Amino acid sequence: MSSQIGTVVASGKRAATVTRKTRETEITVTLRLDGSGETKIATGVGFFDHLMSSLAYHALFDLEIQASGDLEIDEHHTVEDAALVVGAALAEALGDRSGIARFGDAAVPMDESVATAVVDVGGRPYAVVDLPFKGKRAGKLPLQLIEHVLESFARAGGVTLNVRGRGRNDHHLAEAAFKALGRALGDACAVDPRRSGPASTKGTLG
């Protein structure tokens, strides 16, 4: 598997199940790109579950995340590893990435907040995140981890992403960002019926 993170249990038909087990966490993710937005997510970090559910719902991905981790220490290892495994599942489900739109962008408001996401799922991992949160936490999730989550997802998934936003309410800003990212990813991962090969003048992606 291209991301070198976790073990692929099953893959095919633009879907994958990936597991990762370390001394700190045990994560299993099942991702179906051609879904309806159904989610079943349990990491023990409620606001993180909420954000990932929002992402999958607006991408029209079916996403299951089952995670156990050393939450008695803090939330870092659990959410980081979950993001890595979701990224690895995305990379596996995309396969050689032929025939997809490749690029996607979206802007989503939530009350006083607005966020934009622009993505390239062509296999080049890079993340630019500009979400100026005002507080330290939303629920059990330290807000400083959101940038790390997006960086980890991008690295494992082979995704270039730019996520930016502004707002007064941290919950609204974070949720708008993940909804925008979901919509952008859904568009980028969609099959383009006009394209038989990779969306690259190089003739290859990944």
Under 8 Å between Cβ of 158 and 204: no
What is the CATH T-level fold of the domain 7-189, as seen in this structure? Answer: Ribosomal Protein S5; domain 2 (3.30.230)
The mean pLDDT value for 41-57 works out to: 98
pLDDT at 198: 64
The mean pLDDT value for 71-93 works out to: 97
Q: Among 14-18, 19-23, 47-51, 199-203, where is mean pLDDT lowest? A: 199-203
The mean pLDDT value for 116-145 works out to: 97
Q: Please state whether the predicted TM-score (pTM) of the whole model is above 0.85.
A: yes
Under 8 Å between Cβ of 182 and 153: no
Domain ranges of the chain: 7-189
How far is it, in rounded angstroms, from Cα 182 to Cα 125?
Answer: 17
User: Which residues, 6+ apart, have CB-to-CB distance to 170 below 8 Å?
Assistant: 133, 134, 135, 138, 143
pLDDT at 6: 76
CA 79: distance to chain centroid? Answer: 11
How far is it, in rounded angstroms, from Cα 27 to Cα 132?
Answer: 29
Which of the four pLDDT bands, split at 50, 70 and 90, describes residue 12? Answer: confident
| Average pLDDT score over the chain | 93
